[in-house]
Structure 1
Amino acid sequence: MLKTTRRKLILGSLASLVAAGINTGHAKPAKSESTKSQSSTDSKLPTSLRVKAVVIGSGFGGSVAAYHLGRNKVETLVLERGRRWDVKEGQPGPFTTSKLPDGRALWLSETDLLVTDGPQDPINRYTGLVERYNEDGIIVWASSGVGGGSLVYNTVLLQPSKANFNKVFPSSINYDEMSREYYPRVVEMMDAGPIPDDILSSPNYLGARIFLDFAARAGLPTQRINTATNWHIVRKELQGKLEASAIAGEIWYGGNSGYKNSLDKNYLLHAQKSGHVQISPLSNVTEIKELDKGYQLSVDRLDESGTVISRHTITCDYLFMGAGSMGTTSLLVKAKHKGTLSKLNNDIGKYWGNNGDTFGSIRIGSPAGSSHGGPAHIVGLDYQDNPYGPQTVIAFPQADNTHDSLIFLGMALPDETGYWEYSDQLKRAVLHWPSPGESESLKLMDKRMHYTLNKLASQVSPESSRVAAVESVKVSGGATAHPCGGVVMDKACDTYGRVKGYKGLYVVDGALVPRGTAAANPALTIAALAERCMDNIIRNDIA
């Protein structure tokens, strides 16, 4: 449906929609980038260490936890499996690009994992940004690096509607309180705001204007998304003063201009400035064990090729799980299976979801501008008229997209549930997800997205192009970059992230969310829920 290279792409998956046209290079990360990757305030990690609190992971949940622990003078160590990616304005950026990705793109892979059949392009093995999990029934993309998902996402901080939120979350979580207190905290901390008029009207943002036009004519409500984007830097890109990054559709593998207000520039920065929080990059937690008092962690220190260079034992009184749905769930499923956290209940590993994610495209028969103009900027809210249920659609750019295609991410209220179990044969936790052909709810999810995209395609003119556009609509599931659940609230945890059966063990990331964040990108809701959790935990639990 989109331009392809010599490589065969997965049909019916995320890769076929967003990876088309990418050529993979063989370059290795520059040595200068590696040597500059660590902050002088990062922990050097002794072989054995006891600390008051440990946070595993530095994404949207872990960063919020670290920030609040630091400002309350709790001595805290953040363990992050990925490296640090420092962007300094006016200097060459540390990231690879979508047009010529190398090892910096992917987590410890020697092949381009955007494809699974046909020839695979070799790349150097490196502790890169995105790991692809090939699970039972679904492909999941998850991030690594200091800042977690904020390094690789579209900078979208979309707040779900009240009606959708209340269909997903327990009634004990008050939407009005979230909207009044916790959502605004995150937006303010990350300095987020909608795309300005002057940038929206620039040549690189043609795709956004086309989407707005089609949506208006179709009667599809839209809004400009709050994005954690430094629009001043985007202006400098447009003026040619900085490397074209956002405006060139570079999203997945970071942004070399520094346009992303990622977590290392706000929550984590303030945490370290407190003097009570240290970050240890390239520190991979392999096992968690309960002690008579507190917890013991086994940690592998990695070099940037992923080789284990030392092993460490960390003990703590308070342990905060912030490794994301995939990382947190797999660690706790393993601990339950091995008996190292023997009191974990039977809801560990259940109620996992794909956030209702689908991916879609429309060929409009004329230049669409969707290979430029990032990050994502406009959202369509098809909540009232869609007969299959509420559907959110976001247009986003993809470098090297075909000239006449618009690409969309869809998010809905997922009914389908996956589950995890530990495999002794594979020696890891495995996620199980039904195939689309076996699940009526997954078929319904595709129909919901298809209905909304048909509305947009029906606005193409002239008539001959309109017919072709409607026929070109493609919708695909089978993959997600928004994993949610696995250690969910009101089941494995309370609604403040306290893991049932344990004192001082908390989940503050996407694993806490049941299946998805109410037809919205998870980042804002995960961070806002973490803010809510930490308010309560600091007030009631931390001695």
Structure 2
Amino acid sequence: MGQSAGTDPTDSTEPPVDVDVDVDVVVIGSGFGGSVAALRLVEKGYSVLVLEAGRRFADHELPKTSWRIRRFLWAPALRCYGIQRITLLRSTGRAAPGEHGGGTAPAKVLVLSGAGVGGGSLVYANTLYEPLPAFYADPQWREITDWQGELAPHYDQAKRMLGVTTYPKETAADRAMRAVADRMGVGHTFHATPVGVHLGRPGERVADPYFGGAGPERTGCLHCGACMTGCRHGAKNSLVKNYLWLAERHGAQVRPLTTVTSVRPAPSGTGYEIETVRTGAWPVRHRQRIRAGQVVFAAGALQTQRLLHRMRAAGALPHLSPRLGALTRTNSEAILGATVPVRAARRAGLDFTDGVAITSSFHPDPATHVEPVRYGHGANLMGLLQSALVDGGPRRVRRWLGILARRPLTYLPLLSVRDWSRRTVIALVMQSLDNSLTVHYRRGRFGRHRLATAPGHGAGNPTWIPAGNRAVRLLAEQIGGIPGGSVTEPFDMPVTAHLLGGAVIGATAAEGVVDPYHRVFGHPGLHVVDGAAVSANLGVNPSLTIAAQAERALSLWPNRGAPDPRPPLGAAYARIPPTPPSRPAVPPDAPAALRW
């Protein structure tokens, strides 16, 4: 499984594939939406082909640390085919037509996302919360149905499939964060994290504990903190251990290192033609044309938007909603932290890598959520994104430079990433507030198009979160460290690991890109089931919600050859019961089996 250690994943002995292929459904992407779609569709009798731009990894091929750059970072032009994408979205500097444009700051953002077979599950923090109540009450979709009620059984199903359990240990970072919550007067909100990890006995390999023997063997968690560089030990419940594993063994095909360049209606008038190339290959090779009756976009909020925008600009999908790109969300997020200087950390014997990536959280106010986050030993590359913490407001860059100039001996240690993961507690701050960006597809330099952002609906996307900054300053006091923010924040460019929206659910094409069944308005046979279809900020890690929304959407598909129970595209919404699959992949008595 995957490429051999030390090889270039684009070097392949397989012959060029240039023949047409016919399948019932093409799924673009293999993350939390695409993997759910692949499994549920093969269970309903469809032939399914999953196209993934990233490479496939066996556990031992995942990077040992973040310094294994070719396996950790995603930059195909530089022959890096890793699991961590870093994308800068520049600002157009003006609000989109029809939007309030509530923010006065430029709407630029640095986006962290996943790559590879398994999508974001390879690099995410295996943290699986249900959203805060404001998510269901967001005005974008609250009038359509009782979303909390409709999604509840699908959250339960996704939790069973992903093996969610409450983390049982309290680590040094948890104790520090609990003290911060107490000092902020919200100690009662502190709690352990629901995680998708096979805890078991550390290092013990056991038969499939989740799917009645239909899944792979698993290994008990070592609590080494290396979840976000890809778990090399077989404990993390990534999608290649559940949804994708079962889908492939039930007949789905997964084609890695395959980049989709276009999706357009087939000349025959039935279905779609999907054109692909070999990821990163230069000159371009392995061009292929695939015919599919239906297409599921599940490449992640950023890549799904990019492809849809490109197809509308090219005239291939001209009837896409004008709301494409609107209500793009950052989960109202900031990534901060506190770092103890090297010598002080060594004297104290500090090691904050113990545990899984996220082990606890608390709420400084009802709309804000703070989590301590960690990397494993030696995974210090992301420390290069850290700098001195500075609050928002006028002359922010000048104040940031002033902080560094006045206290150079305090902040010089932040330039060193030596033992950074051992001596740092990262603070992930998220909110459920109604703010957004609008993403455009613009012609840039040299005639190339790129995505760019503008202020969107609601208040401006926050460039800093006061409650988060206060929590990090208290955290630094607690551990004897230095409060830090992201190096981009002084330039009013927040960092988010959870870009969402841009192809959201709406009652009509004038209100959203997809209908409540996740079908694309204007183009029957197209669907969006990834983070792009998440309609509001959640205030928590979004992976479980993406999976639950996908579970719901796919549960409403008919079995192959059966009448479609859903109303016609564009008709008023009607709540319908799920359709049980004709050939389930999981034994009916297994813990994760569907309960109809």
Q: Same fold (TM over 0.5)?
A: yes
Q: Matched residue of 2:520: which SS? A: coil
Q: Does 2:540 match 1:520?
A: yes
Residue 408 to residue 433, structure 1, CA distance change in 2 (3 Å): farther
Match of 1:321 among 297, 300, 303: 297
Give structure 1 stretches of 5+ with no counterpart: 1-28, 88-92, 111-123, 385-389
CA distance in 2, matches of 1:524, 1:434: 27
AA aligned to 1:86 is A
User: 1:531 matched to which residue of 2?
Assistant: 551
Q: Which residue of 2 aligns with 1:360?
A: 336
Aligned to 2:361: 379
Counterpart of 1:483 in structure 2 is 499
Counting only pairs closer than 5 Å after superposition, residues 45-56 of structure 1 correspond to structure 2 as 47-56=19-28
1:393 match: 370
Would you say the 8 A contact 2:371–2:429 is kept in 1? yes
CA offsets 1:401-445 (integer angstroms, 9 cap, x no match): 26654211011135132322142645334131569xxx9734575
Amino acid at match of 2:420: N
Tell me: CA distance 1:474–1:229, structure 2 relative to 1, closer, same or farther (3 Å).
same
Q: Name 1:152's counterpart in structure 2.
A: 123
Deviation digits for residues 342-367 of structure 1, max 9, x if unmatched?
11121112221211110122357875
Deviations 1:375-411 (A, max 9, x none): 2111212334xxxxx1111111134326654211011
Task: Tell me which residue corresponds to 1:207.
Answer: 173
The residue that corresponds to 1:131 in the other structure is 85
Task: Give 1:507's aligned residue.
Answer: 528
Q: Is the 8 A contact 1:412 1:445 kept in 2?
A: no
Distance apart, 1:144 and its partner CA: 1.5
Q: 1:126 to 1:233 in 2, by over 3 A?
A: farther
Does 2:351 correspond to 1:369?
yes
Q: Rate the CA distance shift 1:473–1:133 in 2: closer, same or farther, 3 A.
A: closer
Determine the structure 2 residue equivalent to 1:344: 320
Distance 2:430 2:15 in 1: 38
Asked if structure 1 preserves the Cα contact closer than 8 Å seen for 2:332 and 2:430, the reply is: yes
Give the structure 2 partner of residue 272 of structure 1.
248
The one-letter code sitting in structure 2 at the alignment partner of 1:333 is H
The aligned counterpart of 1:15 is none
1:326 positional shift? 0.9
Alpha-carbon shift at residue 308 of structure 1 (Å): 3.9
**Within the alignment, does 1:498 sit opposite 2:473 as a pair?**
no
Q: What residue in structure 1 maps to residue 30 of structure 2? A: 58
Within 5 Å, which residues of 2 pair with 1:150-299? 150-167=121-138, 170-171=141-142, 172-178=144-150, 180-196=152-168, 200=169, 205-216=171-182, 218=184, 219-220=186-187, 221-232=189-200, 234=202, 247-275=223-251, 277-291=252-266, 292-299=269-276
CA distance in 1, matches of 2:307, 2:278: 17
Contact 1:392–1:520 (8 Å) recurs in 2: yes
Counterpart-to-counterpart distance in 1, 2:431 and 2:565: 35
Q: 1:387: which partner in 2? A: none
Residues 1:406 and 1:80: Cα distance change in structure 2 (over 3 Å): same
Kindly tell me: are residues 296 and 109 of structure 1, through their superposed partners in 2, closer, same or farther at Cα, counting changes over 3 Å?
Answer: closer
Deviation at 1:78, TM superposition (A): 0.7
User: Is 2:447 the partner of 1:472?
Assistant: no
CA contact (8 A) 2:301 2:502 kept: yes
| d(CA) in 1 for partners of 2:8, 2:310 | 34
Change (3 A) 1:33 1:44: farther
Report the CA distance shift for 1:188/1:37 in structure 2 as closer, same or farther (over 3 A): farther
Residue 73 of structure 1, CA deviation: 0.6
Change (3 A) 1:362 1:397: same
TM-score, normalising length: structure 2: 0.70
Cα contact 1:485–1:515 (8 A) shared by 2: yes
The answer as to whether partners of 2:114 and 2:124 remain within 8 angstroms in 1 is no
CA distance in 2, matches of 1:325, 1:104: 22
CA distance in 1, matches of 2:125, 2:15: 29
Aligned residue for 2:273, secondary structure, equals strand
Q: 1:301 to 1:442 in 2, by over 3 A?
A: closer
The alpha-carbon deviation at position 173 of structure 1 amounts to: 4.5
Correspondence for 2:593 = none
Deviation of the 1:270 alpha carbon = 1.4
Instruction: Report the secondary structure of 1:499's partner residue.
Output: coil
1:80 matched to 2:80? The reply is no
Q: State the TM-score, normalizing by the size of structure 1.
A: 0.77
Q: Could you tell me which residue of structure 2 aligns to residue 16 of structure 1?
A: none
SS of alignment partner, residue 75 of structure 2: coil
Q: 1:319 to 1:256 in 2, by over 3 A?
A: same
Q: Distance in 1 between matches of 2:551 and 2:226?
A: 30
Pick aligned residue for 2:438 from 395, 414, 418: 418
The Cα shift of 1:278 comes to 1.0
- Other structure's SS at 1:252 match: helix
After superposition, the Cα gap between the structure-2 partners of 1:363 and 1:46, relative to the gap in structure 1 and judged at 3 Å, is: closer
% of aligned pairs identical?
26
Residue 67 of structure 1 corresponds to 39
Q: SS of the residue aligned with 1:332?
A: helix
Q: Give the 3-state SS of the residue equivalent to 2:165 in structure 1.
A: coil
**SS of the residue 1:511 aligns to:** helix
For the residues of structure 1 that align with 2:165 and 2:130, how far apart are their CA atoms? 13
- 2:576 corresponds in structure 1 to none
Alpha-carbon distance, 1:235 to partner = 5.4
Q: Deviations over 1:486-530 (max 9, x none)?
A: 1111111112211111211100001112353x2011101111111
Name the amino acid aligned to 2:64. Answer: T
Partner Cα distance (2:373, 2:282) in 1: 32
Q: Call closer, same or farther: CA 1:73–1:187 in 2, change over 3 Å.
A: same
* Structure 1 position 85, deviation (Å): 1.1
The amino acid of 2:294's aligned partner reads Y
Going from structure 1 to structure 2, the CA distance change for 1:443 and 1:298 (only over 3 Å counts) comes to closer
**Residues 500 and 474 of structure 1: is their aligned pair in 2 closer, same or farther, counting only changes over 3 Å?**
same
Distance 1:451 1:36, change over 3 A: closer
Distance 1:33 1:294 in 2: 40
- Secondary structure at the aligned position of 1:528 is classed as helix
Aligned AA for 2:288? H
- Aligned to 1:272, the other structure's residue is in SS state helix
CA distance in 2, matches of 1:294, 1:361: 49
Q: Which amino acid aligns with 1:349?
A: G
* Deviation of the 1:32 alpha carbon: 4.1
Alignment partner of 1:227: what SS? strand
2:565 partner amino acid: N
Secondary structure class of the residue paired with 1:493 = coil
Post-superposition Cα deviations, 1:28-67, rounded to whole Å, max 9, x if no partner, equal x9844659999xxx99966211111110000001111111
Name 2:565's counterpart in structure 1.
540
Could you tell me how far 1:263 is from its partner in structure 2?
0.6
**In 1, Cα distance between equivalents of 2:237 and 2:374:** 18
Whole-Å separation in 2 of the counterparts to 1:155 and 1:179: 20
